[in-house]
Amino acid sequence: MIKTLRTTAICRATLACVASLVGASAAHAVDWTGYMRGGPAATSESGKSRQCYGIGELKYRLGNECDFYGEFQLAQAMKADGVDFNAVLMTNYYSPATESNANYGVEQAYVEMKGVDIAPQALFWMGKRRDRDDVHIVDTFFTNMSGVGAGVENIDVGFGKFGLAGYKNDSAAEYIDGEHITTIGANNGVGRLHAQLYDIPVNPDGKLRLVATYSRGDSQGGVKGQSGYGLNVEHVQDKFFGGGNHIWVQYAEGSTDINQGISDNGAHGSGYKTWRVVESPSWQLGAFGGQAIAMYQHNEAPDTAGGKSNYWTLGGRGSWAITKNLKWLTEIGYSSLKPANSTAENVAKVTIGPALSTGPDFWKRPELRLYVTYADYNKAAANDTANNYNVPANKTSAVSYGAQVEIWF
């Protein structure tokens, strides 16, 4: 009942916002953008309709996504008395299966403004907003400073630009998939401050982004709020073999997550430390395009919470344009997590299949795909409940197959 009422309320609010934007002055066009993926699948795992494989939240996603997801954004740009402003609403939908229709939400809802007399070039914003960078083939946002907050950016400092933002999530019980879950001292609110220097030219077609984060949790529910901080260095290279290259070097401890967000609802103290290095090139050389990733991450936690661990992954996806509208896709990935005093968790995954697209390049969408995926994993990976395999104890490999559409516009 709670789920139904919450979903209905979100839908009504979304329709009201859509009506407001559509009814805006005809002199200003409403921009509609979006993303969606999903499709039918099957697996050789007995008693299951589909199965996916990775270590933790990171997985090589081609032919390896067990959900249906979409997000759609309306943006209305306007101008009044010499000031430019933009109102943005993004709704999203998530389903862990093909027949569920209950998990809707508001992913972004904010207003940004530029051209005010006190700082004409600065961009001010307030509301619920995303600020993140990812590696597409593993569906992982290695920088993710999103949430409800306010900030200013695009301040010219001569050698680059400066931005400052603050976010705050409230202390409250969680709502997961519309259900009310009561927590005691484990879901305290956390405030975050992000200061960044970005668009720093350091080499031809290459720019640097530096982010410093400080977080502090509320002291509520009988638990003292934990503080934390993080540092993020990103280098983005354009015009790299017809594509680009992205490097992250990151550190975080306490209530700050390695992606510069919040670590475990702010419950982590100074005993939690993580550093990570990520390298991800993309390319388009004639008919051959693709993206790859190499990552190494070191985690430290109190012995009672698992102690130290090391995590690395290496893989990539390639596309070969057979014709203008037909591609052949291949994705290969290997991931390993070695906890302290425990057996390493290993998984290898290979996916092949054809795809129809509007063009021959790797990034052209939509893609209508058929695929076959083979996964090989050890018992340590299968037995870790965080990986969500739920396979028989004697199984260490499986095959999945299906169809998937992916589009962004």
| pLDDT single digits (tens) 300-356 | 998 887 899 999 999 999 999 999 999 999 999 999 999 998 999 999 999 999 999
Its pTM stands at: 0.88
Measured CA to CA, the distance from residue 79 to residue 57 in angstroms comes to 42
Residue 94, domain member (yes or no) = no
pLDDT in tens, 231-266: 999 999 999 999 999 999 999 999 899 999 988 766
Residue 2, domain member (yes or no): no
What is the identity of the amino acid at 259?
Answer: N
Q: Is the peptide bond before 366 cis (omega within 30 degrees of 0)?
A: yes
Is residue 8 one of the residues assigned to a domain?
no
Please state the rounded mean pLDDT for residues 115-124: 97
Q: Does the residue 238 lie in any domain?
A: yes
Number of domains in the chain: 1
Q: Calculate the average pLDDT of the chain.
A: 88
Measure the CA–CA gap between 409 and 405, rounded to whole angstroms.
Answer: 13
Enumerate the H helices of 315-393 as residue ranges: 379-383
Flag whether 87 is in a domain. no
Over the Cα atoms of the chain, what is R_g? 22
> If you count them, how many residues does the chain have?
409
Q: Which domain holds residue 239?
A: 39-67+109-408
Over residues 118-126, mean pLDDT: 97
Q: Is 392 exposed, middle or buried (0-12, 13-18, 19+ CB in 10 A)?
A: exposed
> What CATH number did the domain enclosing 320 receive?
2.40.170.10
Rounded CA-CA distance 366/383 in Å is 36
Would you say residue 57 lies in a domain?
yes
Residue 274 domain-assigned?
Answer: yes
Is residue 252 within 8 A of residue 228, CB to CB? The reply is yes
Assign 174 a pLDDT band (cuts: 50, 70, 90).
very low
Neighbouring CB atoms inside 10 A of 202's CB total 11
Tell me, yes or no, whether 331 lies in a domain.
yes
382 is written with which tokens?
């299968």
Tokens at 405, concatenated = 């559409």
Whether residue 236 contacts residue 277, with contact meaning beta carbons closer than 8 Å, is answered with no
Q: What is the rounded distance in angstroms from the CA atom of residue 352 to the CA atom of residue 319? A: 10
Q: At residue 22, what are phi and psi to the nearest 5 degrees?
A: -65, -30
Tokens of 337: 């997590």
Pair 256, 228: CB distance under 8 Å = yes
Per-residue pLDDT of 200-235, as tens digits, reads 999 999 999 999 999 988 766 556 678 999 999 999
pLDDT of residue 169: 85
